[in-house]
Amino acid sequence: MASSRIQATVRQLSNTFKKKSRFDIGIASELPPAYKKFWREWKVLKPAAVHFIPQESKWKRDELTGETLPVQNVPIPLKHPAEIHEGIWGGEAVIKGFQKRSDQRRRVPHYWVPVLKRTVVRSEVLNTHLSVTVTDRTINLINDHYGFDHYLLKTPACDLVSMLALKLKKQILIELMNGCPRYANNPQKQKEIYNEYKTYLSSYTPEEIEWYGLTWYEALSKVAKQKEAQNKPVPLKNIYRKKLVEKLKAAESEDKNDATEEISTTTSWLSKMNPFGKKDEA
């Protein structure tokens, strides 16, 4: 009985003192759900296995001992240098580990870096050619998806990783949302391109496209600018100037009314004193 009460108390305390996430602190709490959806796709969603082959079964049998062991698909820790955001590496990254180069020596630290190459890709939606740094896996993925645009639009953010790829994907979505205006001179081609890629718009709303591909600091700065625009202070001199102009206009209108009343009274007295004027009929 005592242990069950303790467990219930622990569960209640764990729910009470829930650890705050990055979206619960400061100005980040005002980020819209559209950006939270992109963040989950980019940072929370589990990326595809690239540097190891995952096993589908939950258990495996050791061939030597016959012992049944659980399968643990633990991904290899990857290093993402700043240069990864200047190209499209197709999910590859730098691997840090140890290498034993001789049986008579101790292992030494070693970095495995993907082979990078410069190539030109074409975006049909953007109607342009791009020179980017890619890997062999990136080229294979583009060929498997039958085009650069299809590869970007079908691949989630956690597998693209690169900010260059995310920015290009956002630009393509904006272009599709606007109806492919880059083909305005060729309506037939414009219709063909739009009909081919318009199915990808069903997964995003205009607000989600607006917040897609933003880094954490870009999203926070955008929220701060929106708040600043909504709560922009008005200088007091503008307020006082407006009130002064309104008072002067009101005083001017009152002076005009008084002047017209005085003129009407003087004309009425003059008409009564004029002997040649027409008398009112009884």
Q: Taking the model in full, what pTM does it have?
A: 0.75
Greatest Cα-to-Cα distance within the chain, rounded to the nearest angstrom: 140
Q: Which pLDDT belongs to residue 154? A: 94
pLDDT of residue 281: 46
Instruction: Quote the strand ranges of 32-112, DSSP E.
Output: 59-61, 68-70, 78-79, 94-99, 108-112
Quote the radius of gyration of the chain (alpha carbons, Å).
36
The token pair that represents 60 in the structure block: 């495996």
- Give the position of tokens 């630009």: 171
Phi, psi of 277 (to 5 degrees): -75, 165
Would 2 be classed as within a structural domain? no
Q: Which residues pair with 133 in a beta bridge?
A: 118
Query: Phi first, then psi: what are they for 129, rounded to 5°?
Result: -105, 145
Do residues 193 and 184 touch, judged by C-beta distance below 8 A? no
Q: Which of 46, 23, 33 is nearest to 157 (CA)?
A: 46
Mapping DSSP to helix (H, G, I), strand (E, B) and coil, where does residue 49 land? coil
In this prediction, residue 277 carries a pLDDT of: 54
Per-residue confidence (pLDDT) for residue 151, from 0 to 100: 96
Residue type, 148: F
Our count of domains for the chain comes to 1
pLDDT of residue 102: 86
Provide the pLDDT for residue 73: 84
Domain that holds residue 42: 24-49+74-230
Helix axes 187-197, 163-177, angle to 10 degrees: 120
Is 183 within the bounds of a domain? yes
DSSP-derived letter for residue 103 is: T
SS3 state of residue 253: helix
In a structure prediction context, what are the per-residue pLDDT tens digits for the chain, which is 282 residues long? 556 655 665 566 556 556 778 888 888 888 999 999 999 999 999 898 888 888 888 888 888 888 998 988 888 889 999 999 999 999 999 999 898 888 888 999 999 999 999 999 999 999 999 999 999 999 999 999 999 999 999 999 999 999 999 999 999 999 999 999 999 999 999 999 999 999 999 999 999 999 999 999 999 999 988 888 888 777 888 888 888 888 888 887 776 766 666 656 655 555 555 555 555 544
